[in-house]
Amino acid sequence: MRANKVPTEEIKREPAAFADRVTSDGRFGRAAEPGRYRLVVSRACPWAHRVVMVRRLMGLEDAVSLAVADPVQEIIEGDPHWVFTEETGSPGGRDPVLGVHALREAYLAAAPGYDGGVSVPALVDTGTGHVVSNDYDRLSTDMAAEWGPLARPGAPDLYPEGLREEIEEIGEGVYNDVNNGVYRTGFAPDQERYDAAVGRLFARLDELEERLSARRYLVGDHITLADVRLWSTLLRFDAAYHGLFKCNVRKISEYPALWAYARDLFQTPGFGDTANLDHIRAHYYRVMTGINPTGVVAAGPDPRGWLTPHYREELGGSPFGGGTAPGPVPEGEQVPPIG
């Protein structure tokens, strides 16, 4: 279902159209080589944001370059498409590395005649201009666990072998009821399916509130992929999902533990320094005309709340475990500061 259409059926997510795996040893056919790939994202998209966070936490900025699409998709032949514009650092409206205006050009380069959806994130081979993968979950997992030799010294172990089963178990519930649950709620075609989706969403948030009341992170004593997956939705919740998607039983800021947890991560390098709330609001309110036909963008909430003390360190644990924080955000990748 397209975001600019009035919902008539329950939202369904199609499998990734391109799913080549990239690993340090190339055992699936593609090797992680410095400079070979370009990651195309939107700062607005929660699925793309996961990969951006992992890339930064692992220190892979020099290994894989970043291309940021405009948060407001352009309508091309009746469909919304991710495009590059002057406003997002692409002179002449073309990505300076890939030479394309619309991401779909890289999809078509890989598969002429492709007529499916075009999504971010997309990993593109800079040599051929072909999309390699738009599988956000596999991209983030592989960058966390399979790009090791290219990662920075002190990079955290975001996917510890001994915790993977628990990470995936938590992740499945978070995906079904929260990550995708907000969309199932916002695009519910009737009252019955809305009630079911919003009920599951807040039941899961209540469960997460209880879990995070006694521990700093979702799994283990430092940041893992479980936190990355949940936080991408928490960041957008009060700014977009609460009002626009009718996820309005409670705000995240009304959950004591979840809101403190969300602020703790926002203030951790790799999270808030990859977040652009202006892009988030612009995308959701201007693009999703099926549920917001006026395109009027909401003004709030006040982003300064993200910078207030959280006191989560009292629960123990440390963000990076035995590792260290990533260094400064690379030139040209900074997001507007909150102040």
> Which tens digit of pLDDT belongs to each residue from 204-256?
999 999 999 999 999 999 999 999 999 999 999 999 999 999 999 999 999 99
Structural domains in the chain (count)? 2
* Residue ending a domain, choose from 120, 150, 180: 150
pLDDT tens profile 295-312: 999 999 999 999 999 999
Same domain, 52 and 181: no
Mean pLDDT of 50-78: 96
Same domain, 27 and 127: yes
Same domain, 143 and 176: no
Same domain, 259 and 167: yes
How high is the mean pLDDT of the chain? 96
Q: Is residue 9 part of a domain?
A: no
Same domain, 256 and 180: yes
pTM: 0.96
* Residue ending a domain, choose from 86, 115, 150: 150
Same domain, 137 and 204: no
Q: So what's the pLDDT on residue 1?
A: 40
In CATH, what number is assigned to the domain containing residue 145? Answer: 3.40.30.10
Q: What does the DSSP 8-state code read for residue 232?
A: H
Q: Is residue 323 part of a domain?
A: no
The residue whose two tokens read 């990993």 is 123
Q: So what's the pLDDT on residue 13?
A: 77
Q: Is residue 287 part of a domain?
A: no
Same domain, 93 and 228: no
HEC secondary structure over the chain: CCCCCCCCCCCCCCCCCCECCEECCCCCCEECCCCCEEEEECCCCHHHHHHHHHHHHCCCCCCEEEEECCCCCEEECCEEECECCHHHCCHHHCCCCCCCCECHHHHHHHCCCCCCCCCCCEEEECCCCCEEECCHHHHHHHHHHCCHHHCCCCCCCCCCHHHHHHHHHHHHHHHHHHHCHHHHHHCCCCHHHHHHHHHHHHHHHHHHHHHHCCCCCCCCCCCCHHHHHHHHHHHHHHHHHHHHCCCCCCCHHHCHHHHHHHHHHHCCCCCHHHCCHHHHHHHHHHHCCCCCCCCCCCCCCCHHHHHCCCCHHHHCCCCCCCCCCCCCCCCCCCCCCCC
Catalytic residues: 45, 183
Same domain, 179 and 54: no
Q: So what's the pLDDT on residue 14?
A: 81
Q: Is residue 6 part of a domain?
A: no
Residue-number span of the structural domain to which 170 is assigned:
161-282+295-315
* Residue ending a domain, choose from 123, 150, 177: 150
Q: Is residue 185 part of a domain?
A: yes
Same domain, 116 and 237: no
Same domain, 191 and 254: yes
Same domain, 136 and 207: no
Cβ distance 326 to 268 under 8 Å? Answer: no
Q: Is residue 325 part of a domain?
A: no
SS3 192: helix
Q: So what's the pLDDT on residue 267?
A: 98
pLDDT at 11 over 90: no
Report the first-to-last Cα separation within the chain, whole angstroms.
37
Q: So what's the pLDDT on residue 9?
A: 64
SS3 279: helix
Q: Is residue 194 part of a domain?
A: yes
Same domain, 143 and 275: no
Q: Is residue 339 part of a domain?
A: no
